[in-house]
Amino acid sequence: MKRFLISVLSLFIIVSSVSSSIYANGDGNIDNGGGDMGSGTSQNKWTPGYDGVRITIVREIDEKPVSNPLDYTNKTPSSGLIHFGKVSKLQYRSGTLLTVKVGGYAYKIPATPMPRIISSGDTITNIEVIKRYFTSEGAVKMVANDTGMDYDTLTNGNYKLLLEPIAYLTFQADSWR
């Protein structure tokens, strides 16, 4: 028994001396900056303003997507854009796989330009302006029209819009979303 306790204690000391402590600082990088977006080289970069939003209509009661995701941007992305298809965060978390696709990227440019979505350098986004834009009657009607959902049905309180930011970037000279 004594030999067993010495072995267990020795193993505990060895494991304790090998492991290291890791501390999280609680910074979720949701402070409108700090991610160095907008910096890089000509081969690897994101240009400020080349952003957008993926919108999915979600049923309020069970948070299930009831529309295909739509991408909106104020810019015209490269025709050979490399992307992962139309997969929302909810679909991805439910097991939908991401597959790399080249070209064929579908997007919409809104008639009323969207506010800047991603902060960079001295251009800071304003979450209240973004909320006001996407909850405006015009934007909600745009989403209803583009998804084929009746506007009155979309606004009856049973649905909400899932907004996911999109960055259009260049990586190793290829355009990505």
Q: Tell me what the pLDDT averaged over the chain comes to.
A: 79
Residue 40, exposed/middle/buried by CB under 10 A (0-12, 13-18, 19+)?
middle
Convert the pLDDT of each residue in 107-139 to its tens digit: 999 999 999 888 877 778 889 999 999 999 999
Domain ranges of the chain: 2-176
Greater confidence, 53 or 14? Answer: 53
**Contact yes or no for 139/133 (Cβ under 8 A):** yes
Q: How confident is the model at residue 22 (pLDDT cuts 50, 70, 90)?
A: very low
Residue 19 is predicted with a pLDDT of 44
Tell me: pLDDT of 21 over 50.
Answer: no
Query: Which residue has tokens 């409108």?
Result: 32
Helices (H) and strands (E) in the chain, counts: 5, 6
Residue 25 is predicted with a pLDDT of 42
